[in-house]
Structure 1
Amino acid sequence: MILVTGATGVVGHPLVELLVSAGAEVRAVSRDPEAANLPAGVEVVRADPSRPTTLDGALHGVTAMFVNPRTVGTAAAELLDRARDAGVRRVVSMSALNVDFDLDRQPSRLRGEYNKEVEAAVAASGLEWFALRSGFYAVNTIGMWAGQIRAGDVVRGPYADTSWAPLHERDIAAVGAHALLADELSPGCPVLTGPRALTQTEMVETIGAAIGRPLRFEEVPVEVAKRGMVASGIPAALADGFMAMQADSYGQAGLVTGEVDRILGRPGLDFAAWAADHTADFQQ
């Protein structure tokens, strides 16, 4: 039995689908099981991973578990202690490539994603472990640009030449499924990226090709972009952190790591494939 936290999320949902397709028994954790909308055959339990005692019954019979930092918050060490005592042997966690950066360059912490602490707890758990240090999620472009694209053909933002290697959420899920199901697992925390580095200009043009409209990126000053983010409801500190990451492209010398290809034995899904999968998110 595999227990999945964050089972209804961007990565958790395709992960559950992949595990079911592979014939695994899956127990999904949700705070709202009635709205989970997961594949048939998945056992959905009501619990809150940030309060580990609510998972005591759900851990019965589990041999491996997937931990999403946003769901567990600061309770990872306690949850993993309980999992080990219940007989869980393996844990795979979400993480991020910037976990070793200064904390002010980890803006996702402001959304409750304590990747650094969760990864450390996983590594110290005494279980077989694997942490997915994911890079730039392609799905982030929905929050960044979808509103502007629905309203017109110009996307405005800072740093037109900032480059990322956008990562399809299905590839993160596939690596997670592989780590949960593999007969032999070597502990590690590979950095996962998409297969190709693209500038923001190129990403916007790729989305345009997918939706059949010519789009262009127009660079604006950082302060103008920040005001727009804050006006849309994003906390100023989060906007500052995101701008800092844009300025240094995550500070990563080699934007494409090739780890997805190595682990899965196939090429990673490129941004054009992601954009084709998400055309509805950019159209009215």
Structure 2
Amino acid sequence: MTDNRPILVIASTGNVGRQIVTQLREAGYAVRAVTRNPRTADFPSDVEVTGGDLSAPSTIAACLDGVDAVFLLWPLHTGKRLAAVVDVIARRARRLVFLGTGGVPDLSFAEQEKLVHGRGTESTVIRPSTFAVNTLWWADQIRAGDVVRGAYGALRMSLIHEADIAAVAVRALTEPGHHGVTYALTGPEALTQVEQVRVIGDVLGRPLHWEELTREQARRRLLADETFPDSFVDVLLDGYADMLAGPPLVLTTTIHDITGAPARSLRQWVTDHAADFT
């Protein structure tokens, strides 16, 4: 990227999007941030904030004037509009970096990847392991006591810091050499959910421990949680069951290979977000 045309960050107020905006600014790039609610975006004054809704692709088209590169993640729990949004971007921008997701029940990751790589842009797809921020699903339980209850405690995951995802995305947005590539990102370690709770407790200075629930008990608990989308409950639990029954998790060095810095640990993530558990 050799000019100062803005880089468009769609879904900019989420955990990853906000990190990308921050890192692009720190590197000296002009940023245009897209959000459904521009008035509540709370970005610095040098970030251009504009409204756009992924469920209405025409609103994304209006954000693309003068843009060369676009970051896109898909926060919706249906992929029905993804192809239309990618087509809109491909007609106006040269480069697209897409953060894939396992949270779209009607569109597999492989289908997402095919949609993005087959649209004529310089495309990069990022396939992250489990987001470390997902441990905040336990925050209410941790505030209430020293027990975290859930299903599939033996499931190993490699939790990834949103700053590491953003660092890879920023390089794909701003450097050559990433076209047509899908990057699998993981954190530096594989931890069971039981071990994750222990790490959180160590950082917070509290003796947290895990209590195993059946799948049905966990399902009822999540459905009763007003902050958790009902449409994602079975997707999550089925995904956990499949992961537990599947092949062992393979860690990658992609974050270090691309950024030159090692992937951050869960301990580092909890240290950065300790206030969110209190």
* TM norm structure 1: 0.87
1:141-165 deviation digits (Å, cap 9, x = unpaired): 111x111111111112222221101
Once residues 230 and 82 of structure 2 are traced to their aligned partners in structure 1, the CA distance between those partners, rounded to angstroms, is 28
Distance in 1, Cα, partners of 2:183 & 2:231 = 28
The partner residue of 2:165 within 159, 172, 179 is 172
Is the counterpart of residue 94 in structure 1 residue 99 in structure 2?
A: yes
Task: Please say if 1:69 is aligned against 2:74.
Answer: yes
CA distance 1:208–1:125, change in 2 (3 Å) = same
Q: Residues of 2 paired with 1:237 and 1:62: CA distance?
A: 34
CA contact (8 A) 2:129 2:158 kept: yes
* Contact persistence 2:90–2:121 (CA under 8 A): yes
Shift of 1:175: 0.9
Partner residue in 1 for 2:122: 128
Aligned amino acid, residue 51 of structure 1:
A
| In structure 2, distance between residues paired with 1:21 and 1:211 | 30
Q: Distance in 2 between the 1:252 and 1:177 partners?
A: 31
Measure how far apart 1:20 and its partner are. 0.8
Match of 2:90 among 84, 89, 105: 84
Partner of residue 250 from structure 2, selected from 241, 255, 275: 255
Q: How does 1:1-284 map to 2 (within 5 A)?
A: 1-70=6-75, 73-86=79-92, 88-96=93-101, 106=102, 108-109=103-104, 117-143=111-137, 145-233=138-226, 234=228, 238-249=232-243, 251-283=246-278
1:66 and 1:235 map into 2 onto residues whose CA distance is 25
Is contact 2:68-2:94 (8 Å) kept?
yes
Q: What CA distance in whole angstroms lies between the structure 2 residues aligned with 1:226 and 1:35?
A: 33
Q: Cα deviations across residues 218-246 of structure 1 (Å, max 9, x unaligned)?
A: 22322222222222245666333322333
Identity of aligned residues (%): 39
Equivalences, count: 270
Distance in 1, matches of 2:111 and 2:151, equals 31
Q: Secondary structure at the match of 1:109?
A: coil
Q: Paired residue for 2:3?
A: none
Could you say what secondary structure the match of 1:58 adopts?
Answer: coil
Question: Are the structure 2 counterparts of residues 160 and 235 from structure 1 closer, same or farther at C-alpha, using a change threshold of 3 Å?
Answer: same
**8 Å contact kept, 1:6–1:67:** yes
**C-alpha deviations, 1:227-270, integer Å up to 9, x for none?**
22222245666333322333343635333122222221221000
Q: Is the 8 A contact 1:69 1:118 kept in 2?
A: no
1:75/1:148 Cα in 2 relative to 1: closer, same or farther (>3 Å)?
same
Higher mean alpha-carbon deviation, 130-139 vs 259-268, is at 259-268
Q: Secondary structure at the match of 1:14?
A: helix
Pick closer, same or farther for the CA change 1:113–1:19 going to 2, 3 Å: farther
Question: 1:114-139: per-residue Cα shift (whole Å, max 9, x none)?
Answer: 75554322111111100111111111
The one-letter code of the counterpart of 1:274 is W
Mapped partners of 1:220, 1:280: distance in 2: 27
How far did residue 206 of structure 1 move? 0.8
Aligned AA for 2:232? L
1:160–1:199: 8 Å Cα contact kept in structure 2? yes
TM-score, scaled to structure 2: 0.88
The aligned counterpart of 1:102 is: none
C-alpha separation in 2, matches of 1:129 and 1:24: 19
Distance 1:177 1:227, change over 3 A: same
Task: Tell me, in whole angstroms, the C-alpha distance in 1 between the residues paired with 2:165 and 2:229.
Answer: 27
